Chains A and B, each alone.
Chain A
Amino acid sequence: MTRSVSGPSRTLPQYGALAAVLLANWLLFPDFFSIRLQDGRLFGSLIDVLNRGAPVALLAIGMTMVIATRGVDLSVGAVMAISGAVAATLTQAGWGLAPVLAASLAAGLLCGLWNGLLVAVLRIQPIVATLILMVAGRGIAQLVTEGQIVTFTSPGLAFIGSGSFLTVPMPVVITAILLGVTALLVRMTALGLMIEAVGVNRLSSAGAGVNTPVVLIAVYVWCGLCAAVAGLVVAADIRGADANNAGLWLELDAILAVVVGGTSLLGGRFGLLLSVVGALTIQAMNTGILLSGFKPEFNLIVKAGVLMVVLLLQSPTLTLFLPRPANPRPVRAPAKPESPSPSAGA
């Protein structure tokens, strides 16, 4: 599925990082890989990593495509808060499960559409365009909940957060489904290629016949939808909506996950699965720090350290100093037409 991020040399660091973190966890905590079945649901540290990593992984799926177009979406945390607020408020008002889900997802779509219009039609820089909704979005979420923490008891909605399907926790199932659908959409159609083209050069891709506004709007709408799903999962998990704190700073975690997954912030080639791997790596680190008895205070520093190492490995300057034979393929293939990314030589 990762067509343009192909070859083991490109994907190895990401999987390697996840494996290394998991291995470190196992060394610190021998029971790390033990999984048991209880009340028809799987339990264990590994499942916990998947389950807790789900919201950031969901965000990372949408964020990957936005970043691939050389953009960034800072509003995903606020959109999570809005979708959670809508779901909780409507459930409390006595709406059924289906209309609640529809309304909540529609709210996310609308937010994404707003961002997309600003970026694609008004041509505002993505950081600034999405900053607007990041600032105002949390206010809107508070407006919806009227400043309260709205709680609900609907078992249907709560199932999304804490239920399980075929023994697998629902957040994990939802993430897998969304990842599958997104991968199908971008890899089985020309959409993925167009997204990469827009990311490499918006003007020339427009010149080559790509309908750049539509591609950009679609990408931001999808990102909004992913954020709404993440917001639903979080709200369903805690059975309530906290407009102030739901999804707070998760936009940064999502960007981090995408970067750790190896997608360049300069746009172009992207790897959806790798971003999810990035999200899980971050979560595995969090879990590891908790399990190891380190103070959780060190969490941020470790995160920053890992981020810097990953960035350094991608840095064009550093790569010049690295020995070339690190690449297992003998030919450095100067002609590799399907990856025209500017950082391909990095």
Chain B
Amino acid sequence: MIHRFLPLLVTSAVLVVGFLLCAAQFPNFASLRVVGNLLTDNAFLGITAVGMTFVILSGGIDLSVGAVIGFTTVLLAVLIEQGGWHPFSAFAVALAVAGGFGAAMGAVIHVFQMPPFIVTLAGMFVARGLGFVLSTDSIPINHPLYAELGDLALRFDGGGKLTLPALLMLGVVAAAVVCAHWTRFGANLYALGGNRQSAELMGVPVGRTTVAVYALSGLLAGLAGIVFSLYTGAGYSLAATGVELDTITAVVIGGTQLTGGYGYVIGTFIGVLIQGLIQTYITFDGSLSSWWTKIAIGVLLFVFILLQKGLLAVWTGRGGAPAEA
């Protein structure tokens, strides 16, 4: 039993050890304020990464999430500032649009049997393009509700607080864990990612599951877009570029196999926190240049992939992993 959770345990250990090392060097690091900020700053990334984990578990990939976040922020800004909509109705529309967009991509992937990589790449172009068409400027959102929502937080002693974005992320992660392990949809997802043909023969509704998983990823990207617009107080079509790669990185660090069928949502959450920790450390240090973040994450990615490969080779007997298709 232990070996199933080994990648997850290693990832968690890296987070804990990393945090302790940071705390040893900077005594202020181990405070609720830093932890609270870590959660708030990475909330949109965490929410997106949950959707990405589902897609990857099903054996696919979604490159459009960053663009969907950017599009959602612009859509919100345009609806609220220029259209005079109430933020809550704008949120509802944005979520519906983002979810529908994901569902459409899932349908194309399933019906035309096209590689998810290229379909979601086209989706990325479409979403960024639509954002540009709406507006190429960064539009500030000045609705009073935004200020109220921004102030909303669970406060703790010592300046620590869990803001609305952080709470949303924790809620999404918790719901996703339940969904992945204790629902029929979750079981279908793992089956589909493990082996599509066997899943089909077992009676898994492949088409419905594929559409649903991309719709979910789109929906969560839309939610991340709402969080991002709350966090920055603006809508900008170039917002969140490269987030798709950050989320894929988090998923891989979290121990999920990119071939699908194996992995845990909670691992992805830890992966997001590890990336955030590296960034926070570099901010604390002050003398390290920002590019060390990228190099450190690259090295981490490499180490984790090697670890996974090593573990897989041990499980499946000697001679390394079978050829991955």
Q: Which residues of A contact B (CB under 8 A)?
A: 72, 122-125, 127-129, 131-140, 142-143, 146-147, 202-203, 243, 252, 255-256, 259, 265-266, 295, 297-304, 307-308, 311-312, 315-318
Let me know if B133 and A301 touch, CB within 8 A.
Answer: yes
Let me know if A128 and B122 touch, CB within 8 A.
Answer: no
Segment of B17-25, B107-115, B186-194, B227-235 in the binding face: B107-115
Asked if B279 is at the interface of the complex by the 8 Å CB criterion, the answer is no
Cβ distance A85 to chain B, nearest Cβ, rounded Å:
11
- What separation, in Å, do the CA atoms of A307 and B163 have in the docked complex? 41
Let me know if A297 and B115 touch, CB within 8 A.
Answer: no
Known: A128-B258, A139-B293, A307-B121. 10 other contacts (CB 8 A): A125-B258, A132-B302, A136-B298, A140-B291, A147-B291, A301-B129, A303-B125, A311-B114, A311-B122, A315-B112
User: Can you show 13 pairs from A to B with CB atoms below 8 A apart?
Assistant: A122-B306, A125-B259, A135-B245, A135-B249, A136-B297, A139-B294, A142-B294, A266-B115, A300-B129, A301-B133, A304-B125, A311-B114, A316-B113
Dominant secondary structure of chain B at its interface with chain A: helix
Interface residues of B in 262-310 (CB under 8 A from A): 289-295, 297-299, 301-302, 305-306, 309
Most buried by A among B121, B125, B133: B125
Known: A72-B117, A123-B321, A139-B292. A297 touches B122 (CB 8 A): no
Let me know if A143 and B295 touch, CB within 8 A.
Answer: yes
Let me know if B298 and A133 touch, CB within 8 A.
Answer: yes
Asked if B130 is at the interface of the complex by the 8 Å CB criterion, the answer is yes
Cβ distance B261 to chain A, nearest Cβ, rounded Å:
13
Let me know if A256 and B115 touch, CB within 8 A.
Answer: no
Known: A132-B302, A315-B114. A307 touches B291 (CB 8 A): no
Let me know if A128 and B132 touch, CB within 8 A.
Answer: no
- What separation, in Å, do the CA atoms of A311 and B133 have in the docked complex? 24
Known: A123-B320, A300-B126. A136 touches B133 (CB 8 A): no
CB-CB under 8 A from B320, the residues of chain A are 123
**In chain B, what residue has the closest Cβ to A296?**
B132
Let me know if B121 and A131 touch, CB within 8 A.
Answer: no
Known: A123-B309, A301-B129. A139 touches B259 (CB 8 A): no
CB-CB under 8 A from A202, the residues of chain B are 323
Asked if B324 is at the interface of the complex by the 8 Å CB criterion, the answer is yes
